[in-house]
Structure 1
Amino acid sequence: MAARTKQETLAWLRQIAGELATATLKRLEDTLPWYREMPPGRRSAVGLVAQQGIRSFISWYDDPQSTPWIAADVFGTAPRELLRSVSLQQTLQLIRATVEVVEERVTRGTDDSVREAILLYSREIAFAAADVYARAAEARGLWDARLEALVVDSILSGEADDALPSRIAALGWHGHGEVAVLVGTTPPVLDVDQLRRTARHLAADVLIGVQGNRLVLVIGRADERSGWTIAGREEAARDRLAEEPKDEVARMEGEPADDHQLSFLDIAQRLESGFGPGAVVLGHPVPDLVEASRSARAALAGFAVVRAWRRSPRPVLADDLLPERALAGDPVARSTLIARIYRPLKDHSTSELLGTLWAYLDNGRSLEGTARELFVHPNTVRYRLKRITDLIGYDATGPREALILHSALILGAISEPVPTRRRVGR
């Protein structure tokens, strides 16, 4: 059989274009399970893309040099939601099935130039598909970064509105339940991807915001019942194998997460190496992400006064900075000290605990001096101090906790109403 000329081949290709499209859809139906499971509307859109690819090949084969074809020639017919629902891997499978059908039907009875044209076109269309998805991913990444910055700003300012939950959902937030905010300095070179990998390894999710020289992380622990914890561990294991150097990853990420959930302080200790020099302050946990502004306010207030604690740990809890925050005028710290320490001692059934603590702190934490003032044995003072620790959780014998307790007593005494005398007539 004599080989066709190029014009004869073009006429023949235009004649069998419909047959090629039908055969391609049949091949997709037989070989791609994800295509069979698609709704009819999306299957039709995928078919249109395949048909457009065949027509674009015929036009390109007619004159490759006339006008350079672009990816929009093929993917322009696809609706926008199709590009979001079909992955790059599935698109490459679609291209491969289409090329196989065209190659099987067209190369019979034609010369090698047609086969070479099909191979060249399939290579270019594959690169074009990758370019389309890369641009979409880049645009989505920029949009996610702006949306994440907006969400973090809303949390820090406390200006949460009805749109905040939908914005959080759009970011793909995996955290469930309690949330805490971690504040520190921004490093000279911020590695956002490393922070996310470390958090994912710890079965946690983070929102990252940069406020000038201040780095803010909103941390949420994943719900073990959701199954995300297991998936997060598997993905983190793959990340660790792919990362170089491995010892640096192990240093930052630490050991894999245990079966139980890590505390926010444990998570913060693994993430603190991603911050710059200086203090790192962790706010108290709150029930959900919508209320994260309360944790953010505590963390920011602690970050502003942490330099007053000369030997503060890194990271440090915002609640461990309650005296400094109260001295700086933080009303939340004042009310917390009163509610957590002064009020339980004041409302206790026996009044000797509050008096004993006052005397113990006023006497320089001396058991003998306190015993002499109260006319009791030093062992009685020890017993009452132990009862105080059991009641409020603070040990008055430690220097740092003694400062917290003394601040709470002073603020509690100031908050008490001033007694007024009743005027007596003559």
Structure 2
Amino acid sequence: MDEASTQQFRAPEDPEILNATTESSRDLASVRDRTLILKGILRRTRTLLGADMAYLSLNDLPSGETYIHVTDNVRTEAYRNIRMPLGTGVLGAVAAGGSTASTLDYLADPNMNHIPTIDQVVAVEGVKAIAGAPLRVGGRIVGALLVAHRSPASLPAAGERALEHMAAQAAIALEQTRRGSEIMQLRALIGSTTTSNAGRTRELEAMLALDERLMGSMVASVNAEGVVAVLEEATGRPLGLFDPTGRHRFGSVTLNKPSLENWGVQSAINTSLHGAGAATVRYKGEVYTVVAVAAGKEHLATLVMNGTAGKEIALLERGSVFVSAALLFERTLVDANNRAQSTLMEDLLASRTEDQAQAVRAKFVAFGIELRGETAVLVILIDPPVRHNALATVQQRLRKGAMLVSAHMGHICVVTTSAGATLAKEMDQILHQEGISAVIGHATSSSGSINGIRGAHDEASEVVMAAKELGWRRGFADLNDLGIAGIMLSHDSASTAARIVERTVGPVQEYDRAHRTDLLGTLWAYLESGSSLQTTASQLHIHQNTVRQRLERIDSLLGAQWRTPSRRIDVHFALRLWKLVPPTSKPDAVRGQ
């Protein structure tokens, strides 16, 4: 298809997504009519994505189908009454598979599982492009939220994010409105229950109170920590929220990170993640209940509760959809706050003319940064699943000062007039306290010129990539810390370093392993001291004769020619690599030690 003739669903800005989710939360708290709530969500979704129509389906598991439940701007009765077998078309695929999906032109898409009668309905409606996101309640996929165009259109990343946000809101609405009649029945039951059924009465009242409190928390402040606190109090059991890497975020520390990596616990999380709702697992004699919190195909977090009981599991599943919406809201809030700073950083890196440089300088002033003297740049590599959490942590906990913090090009970047090394150390400690492993490269421009800062960014990026190739999982460094050896490896791999070390000083390594000695350490200290016996002995706290004896042993292993100037350079270089690569027994080595 000609790309020039293909449009896109609209790519909404983060503030627009936040406004839409906030308005939907207000409806959920104040509007009791099921159709009005869902239609409001569909209307906002259409507006966000600039779509011709929107609709929501519910899954009918006994029949193996999903059916359209509510629509907005659908013209034909036949389309409004579509029932799709799960797994067919975009609607059936999203409602069954649990992932966001889209098609540029549904009828012309050979990858779709078509049904002739449904295709005819789609053709009469005039639908071309379709995009959908699953609705999850308590880990279970209960339906799908879809938008459609009557002309071919692709789904941009911002559009996909908006669709998943609104799907989370729709899931809350479904969970609330689906229980509308149930809640009325419960209230009636509570009113007629005798004292002999006091236990059942308290259970029903707790369920109603949780629903109302969660709705109130979503309106007052969309905050995942507050939602988890409400859930933990409601269940009366220790309950914690953990990110996909196992890092504890809120609530009780019900399991530590190594425990969450246990295969049995991981299996339970995956079971919940793939639509089975809450799952239980026994670990070290204790029973835990886990609920995977997801949006589309993305695993956002995991709720872990001590123990298992029917009423607590029901409360946990009810609350998980609120946690999902709150986490998405928090992420978009971070993205919105980051957008201007990321754009400015990209402008700095792209600026080439003096006019562009002056414009960038003026924008930096708005962040309190005068680009006229020493300016440091830090580049921070963090695993994608926790990058948003890390960005929020850095922005919230760094000491106050003139700095710009942004996420771009797959890493977090900081531009500051503070000392780069000091800030890198502080940042490393802050992130480590939060359970986040980060590799940080830093460099400084002495002039503060745009070209100088751009060069510092490139240098810090090379340093951090070199450290990553050398096997670092946590630490901070600049060019001097890594030296030529490290920067050379930024374009190669740690396996190259291992081969160089093995070929150059391998016999000494083997001797140390066999005899539990540290001849390599002695050799390193000797070369670093400028071949001074006295300095080496002082540094190692041994006698000079001991140093001399160790060097003679190294002569026997490497041959006396290692002392010649050219060979000595090779040995020193190999030892530099040996010092940079963290030993396998210390995967979290800091600064390569």
Q: Please tell me the TM-score bracket, short chain as reference.
A: 0.3 to 0.5
Answer 1 or 2: which has greater helix percent.
1
Which of the two has higher C-alpha Rg? 1
Give TM-score scaled by structure 1 length: 0.32
Give TM-score scaled by structure 2 length: 0.24
Answer 1 or 2: which has greater strand percent.
2
